Structure 1
């Protein structure tokens, strides 16, 4: 990351021996400062059981589409900061039930209010910053079309006025930033909690599943956009991104299902009537149990072993990928590191074929995303 230092105040005046609720380490800062990278390293290095969720994954539900925007910000909650905080509070309770003793949360905050408090955990805010020239360099290097450099620099300047813990990442590598952040984490409280009761309410959820690289997220996002543009208030979730906990257990489907149900309750109250969900699912029962009032339609995407191998290598080259997602094992990886992935994906596909999972099953070989999405919408 680039030579700087650290200025950290004691977290909310508490020393590390003071009793507090489960710490929720909220790493915030402008785009490009390294929040997700640092957060993911922390998730993998902390010795105690830990959860991880990127705040952006908790807010993919927008206002009704207009003639100018398919996904406008809600007027009452621009940036959807309140929505994200409510979902975060709910999923923190589920992380505790799953055994986590700390949750790492990278993501942006409202520059006027900072990290919002939670009822199910104690927010430990830590701002990551970089000097303007360094931040501009990082944004240019990652070449993402959605990055607005001038807006990002202005947002970073606003964040610099917030009080509280701050790590200047200029001149530091990831390991150094992780070490500095870790040094100021309070000791976690022992976790002991039961799972909250099922929530969510009625609605229609489409659960897209399939083997690695089959395209569940790409197809799901296309369907989500099409529904929004057609005037159907819809939300979106990536199951993998809402189910990170260490140590892991059987795909963490209980945690993913509980988090999905909690998020659906929030989105439904904000006006959503449908939700598109993408992820790897071996069994549907946990999801239907967590959403007893909703109609959950499962659609399995299929692809041949050769097609899966081709898509995996394309992802490695950065083609058709969403950069910046935590835990991405494919995007930007050299072919040597991906050598064994096609066989694993083919085995996953064979296992799903044997299970027969899915209310719908759609072949994707040699088809466009639009074509696959159209078939799924017709069957949903």
Structure 2
């Protein structure tokens, strides 16, 4: 491994400041330029509940998991890592990186309060949450950690332009990650074709577990795969194992994993898993693709449907229908749930029952 520290550019700030949009834009720009790069959304590294204490405990879980993930990416030979997400507004994140082989650049995005308010509401956030939003923005301004970048009046591409020149764009050598030792469960993997409703149903089931006081964690495998060149199932598996280890250390006793397909590289992470496969007919998949495109689900990094034109939507429908047909022909030990014609709440209830069996 090279002695040179791996650069990590982290965009943070209050909700609506543009941290995720900017970080994803940087990742996309670097991949288009041929760079060996990875993107990490730190919010995907803290999906464990019921919340183990206050906000500080949650930030500590995310930070510990992030360092695990960064070590995996560094071992693979990644030349630049881009991170987005909220940090502890009182303590920052810099202390976690002391003595580590990473060169952290923490960028605190800000903008005028009127513009922050508009951005927050335009993305569908409730007006009732505005006081909490401004409280977070005030805390960031008060502590003043990181480098402040005012994005008032800027388009997202302009913010990306301002930070792209500070990134490393190199191809580099891709190295295999270290072998993964199998970890205990119980683990339920929810699979299915594009837009069938895996994430919506699984996250609903997760909230039900939390409401009943059961310590359960959640992982969206697609969110662990933002590495270029890629895709790289071995890296996804290594990250999944590292994050589950962190969740177990934090008290989780069950894991829900969402994945379009669960490959052999992923299966080796666990001693034993239960696979619940969601299926749906063509009409249902068509409707769910439309709903996704119109914004009826959470917006995650890499979303290929939000706001796309009808021609692109039709292409995704065709792919989803083909995936569903192919997956029906595959064999394996799994529970199959036909979700054709169901509303999200019905699918979530059926999934929760299958997980508990």
On whether the aligned pair clears a TM of 0.5, the verdict is yes
Name the structure 2 match of 1:307. 284
Name the structure 1 match of 2:104. 123
Does 2:261 correspond to 1:281? yes
Q: Which of the residues 31, 37, 50 maps onto 2:37?
A: 50
Write out the 4+ residue segments of structure 1 that deviate beyond 6 Å after TM superposition. none
Q: CA 1:188 to 1:108, structure 2 compared with 1: closer, same or farther past 3 Å?
A: farther
Name the structure 1 match of 2:203. 221
SS for the counterpart of 1:166 is: strand
Does 2:120 correspond to 1:139? yes
Map Cα deviations across residues 251-287 of structure 1 (whole Å, 9 max, x no partner). x32222211111111111111110111121153x212
Q: Is the 8 A contact 2:36 2:172 kept in 1?
A: no
Q: Is the 8 A contact 2:177 2:234 kept in 1?
A: no
For the residues of structure 2 that align with 1:227 and 1:246, how far apart are their CA atoms?
35
Q: CA 1:99 to 1:353, structure 2 compared with 1: closer, same or farther past 3 Å?
A: farther
Q: Which runs of 5+ in 2 are unaligned?
A: none
For the residues of structure 1 that align with 2:86 and 2:345, how far apart are their CA atoms?
32
| Two-structure CA RMSD over aligned residues (Å) | 2.3
Q: Displacement of 1:189 after TM fit?
A: 10
Q: CA 1:358 to 1:43, structure 2 compared with 1: closer, same or farther past 3 Å?
A: farther
Q: Displacement of 1:99 after TM fit?
A: 4.1
Aligned length: 346
For the residues of structure 2 that align with 1:143 and 1:308, how far apart are their CA atoms?
24
Decide which structure has greater helix share. 2
Q: Which of the residues 294, 297, 302 maps onto 1:317?
A: 294
Q: Displacement of 1:334 after TM fit?
A: 3.1
For the residues of structure 1 that align with 2:118 and 2:280, how far apart are their CA atoms?
40
Q: Which of the residues 312, 326, 340 maps onto 2:301?
A: 326
Q: Which of the residues 192, 216, 229 maps onto 1:210?
A: 192
For the residues of structure 2 that align with 1:147 and 1:103, how far apart are their CA atoms?
35
For the residues of structure 1 that align with 2:171 and 2:290, how far apart are their CA atoms?
43
Q: CA 1:340 to 1:44, structure 2 compared with 1: closer, same or farther past 3 Å?
A: same
What's the TM-score once normalised by structure 1's chain length? 0.84
What's the TM-score once normalised by structure 2's chain length? 0.89
For the residues of structure 1 that align with 2:224 and 2:333, how far apart are their CA atoms?
21
Residues 1-380 of structure 1 aligned to structure 2 (within 5 Å)? 20-46=4-30, 47=33, 48-63=35-50, 73-75=51-53, 78=56, 80-116=58-94, 117-118=96-97, 119=100, 121-145=102-126, 148-160=129-141, 161-185=143-167, 194-199=176-181, 201-249=183-231, 252-283=232-263, 285-292=264-271, 295-319=272-296, 321-323=297-299, 325-380=300-355
For the residues of structure 2 that align with 1:110 and 1:157, how far apart are their CA atoms?
13
SS for the counterpart of 1:23 is: strand
SS for the counterpart of 1:339 is: helix
Q: Is the 8 A contact 2:78 2:174 kept in 1?
A: no
Q: Displacement of 1:152 after TM fit?
A: 1.6
Q: CA 1:176 to 1:376, structure 2 compared with 1: closer, same or farther past 3 Å?
A: closer
For the residues of structure 2 that align with 1:373 and 1:190, how far apart are their CA atoms?
43
Q: Which runs of 5+ in 1 are unaligned?
A: 1-18, 64-72
